[in-house]
Amino acid sequence: MSRIAEIAAELAGYDPKALGVDAVQGFLARLAQSAVVTQSENIPLRDALGRVLAEDIISPVSVPPHDNSAMDGFAFDGALLPADAASDASVSLRVVGTALAGTAWRGPLAPGDAVKIMTGAVMPAGLDTVVPQEFCFVDGEQVRFPAKALRRGDNRRLAGEDLQQGQPALLRGERLSPAALGMVASLGLPMVPVLRRLRVAYFSTGDEILSLGELPREGAVYDSNRYTVFGLLTRLGCEVIDLGLVRDDPAALAATLRRAATEADAIITSGGVSVGEADHTRAVMQQQGDMAFWRVAMRPGRPMAVGLIPRQRAAGGTAVLFGLPGNPVAVMVTFLAFVRPALLRMMGCHEKGCAPPPLLRARSVDAIRKKPGRTEYQRGRVEPQPGSLPEVRIAGNQGSGVLSSMVEANGLVVLHHAQDSVAAGDLVDVMMFEGVI
């Protein structure tokens, strides 16, 4: 039994002519799990943004390495604070020195002494509390503040409260964000072990498609999908291989698929996967690999194909093929809903990093017509509302070939499979674009 057939057999109620969004996501999660990259490399931290960790990073130091002040103020022994937090009494201290960030103050201390301290400076031995300078009245060497302004231990960062030496700081499968780069830098590590970039080849198909620079002709349109897919893959951190535009010629299609499978881990095509279509793309895909062709219960993006294309013998193995619809908006929607999570799995991300973008709850300004039985993705514009949930308006023409409304939108209103029509004022889920496309 082929791998595609094995996965289909694992899914209850699998019907390629009427496949729900959840079933597609489950299918692709299983398929991607067998195609995860394993080769790794050590690279400079500055080059690691968006890369996936190949192994756990164990902290070689504690962060912070010492107790330090979280405020500019005065460090003192918190035992001097009265037990009654509601007391109106004040605390008076004698300032005997100054602790600056980067150096440790080591002078002698007597009961009732305080040290003026800067943010990040090491806490002097025996002192455990910092009163912010804005709470204080200073008169020469004396400082006074209300006792109820703070409690013992306030404004002190403890050694190792962020990370303890010897503990995992980041786990294998973590996709390195700007915050994660900062965490690695805080450990003093200039290099990080990462999995190699996922290689993704993509091309458009069809005699009706024009490449940029060609003269317009009747019945033809310029190829927007290649540039959309390029942007989506680049944002994801993949190594992109642009194989251009392939005409409706069986031999050319077959050769391009073979080349793509040899050079890449995954292949993305746009156009030619509709059930019953007369062009050559579906037939060539079936000849070249282990394929499934679906009608997905969604709008836009109903036709879709997925499969495994074998590499030439020297390379071995297979490349995962995602055959997307031809309409530009359908390409973007199916990429976000299905292809992006699958590619993240293939990149080696752990499970929580492979989920589709999180959904935001917003109040719909518009009434939206819908029948249960399919998932719909409507382009929307979300705007914040002070003191209330954000509002979302439908963004322009919702035709699957209308890119202008995709540019205007900042998210997709997700109308779920069983959901009915939406009335103005109802709450809806929105998949936000920020950081994704």
What are the structure tokens assigned to 30, written together? 């299983």
Tell me if the domain spanning 3-39+196-354 has CATH number 3.40.980.10: yes
User: Is residue 300 within 8 Å of 333, Cβ to Cβ?
Assistant: yes
For 194, other C-beta atoms within 10 Å of its C-beta total 23
Percentage of the chain surpassing pLDDT 70? 97
The residue among 429, 395, 430, 393 whose CA lies nearest residue 409 is 395
More confident residue, 339 or 280: 339
The residue among 111, 121, 117 whose CA lies nearest residue 77 is 111
Alpha carbons 368 and 415: distance in angstroms, whole number: 9
CA dihedral sign, ordered 51, 361, 338, 13: positive
Topology annotation, domain 41-60+174-195: Molybdopterin biosynthesis moea protein, domain 2 (3.90.105)
Q: 232-244 pLDDT, tens per residue?
A: 999 999 999 999 9
Topology annotation, domain 68-157: Molybdopterin biosynthesis moeA protein; domain 3 (2.170.190)
How high does pLDDT run on average in the chain? 92
Residue boundaries of the structural domains of the chain: 3-39+196-354, 41-60+174-195, 68-157, 359-432
By mean pLDDT, which of 279-293, 318-332, 336-350 is the weakest? 279-293
Percentage of the chain surpassing pLDDT 90? 79
For 314, other C-beta atoms within 10 Å of its C-beta total 6
The residue among 129, 110, 22, 26 whose CA lies nearest residue 70 is 129
Q: What is the pTM for the complete model shown? A: 0.89
Q: Specify the length of the chain in residues.
A: 437
Measured CA angle at 359 (ends 355, 361), to 5 deg: 165
Whole-number pLDDT of residue 87: 66
What are the structure tokens assigned to 235, written together? 């944002």
HSE of 140, CA atoms in CB hemisphere, 13 A: 1
What are the structure tokens assigned to 416, written together? 């779920």
Q: 171-218 pLDDT, tens per residue?
A: 999 999 999 999 999 999 999 999 999 999 999 988 888 888 888 998
Measured CA angle at 410 (ends 362, 47), to 5 deg: 120
Average pLDDT (27-56) is 96
For residue 316, pLDDT over 80 is answered with no
Whole-number pLDDT of residue 314: 65
Average pLDDT (275-287) is 74
Whole-number pLDDT of residue 399: 81
For 271, other C-beta atoms within 10 Å of its C-beta total 25
DSSP string, 21-42: HHHHHHHHHHHHHTT----EEE
Q: 5-22 pLDDT, tens per residue?
A: 999 999 888 999 999 999
At 436, is the pLDDT very low, low, confident or very high (cuts 50, 70, 90)?
Answer: low
3.40.50.1010, 2.40.340.10, 1.10.287.3510, 1.20.140.10: which CATH number matches 359-432?
2.40.340.10
Average pLDDT (264-288) is 81
**Which of helix, strand or coil describes residue 43?**
strand
Whole-number pLDDT of residue 86: 63
For residue 278, pLDDT over 60 is answered with no
Q: 61-80 pLDDT, tens per residue?
A: 999 999 999 999 999 999 99
